Amino acid sequence: MILSTVILGWIGMGIFITVFFTFLKLMKNKEHGFLHLLMGIMYAMWLPLPFALYSEIGQDFVFTGSIFGFVYLFMLVITMGFQTGHIVHVVKQEQSEIWGERASWMLDTFTTSFEGLASVFKSIWSIFLSYCLLVKRRNMDGCINEFV
């Protein structure tokens, strides 16, 4: 499980670096849907990470946090998929002023609340993980060295 998590993690990092270096060009060409699709794939590559950390650290407290971490990443994959579909739908619709306002309202309503809740799950996961690392007296270098 650790090897596959490392491979998927590096694929996700590769996508992140690609988005980082092509962001301005994608925004200039109005490729918002493609950008959200790439980010959704990136987060999907990181889905096994919380449970890989649990299997490496091996405390039940980390398992509870891993559930929050998995739900956080899963929610991001879901919201990126919805945003991609919404953006593609908006592009294919007529470009009236009323439709533009309604489309912006729908996207803001969904993403603000859903991604805000996902951030709460991320924070809870971080608290559980940091507590367990402090209890076992490990620092981040120790965790990274175990995966390599």
**pLDDT per position as a tens digit, 72-103:** 999 999 999 888 888 887 777 766 677 777 77
Residue 142: is its pLDDT beyond 80? no
pTM attached to this predicted model: 0.80
Burial class (CB in 10 A: 0-12, 13-18, 19+), 131: middle
How far, in Å, are 63, 75, 87, 100 from residue 107 at the CA level? 33, 15, 9, 11
93: left (phi over 0), alpha (psi -120 to 50) or beta: beta
Q: How far apart are CA 137 and CA 105, in angstroms?
A: 47
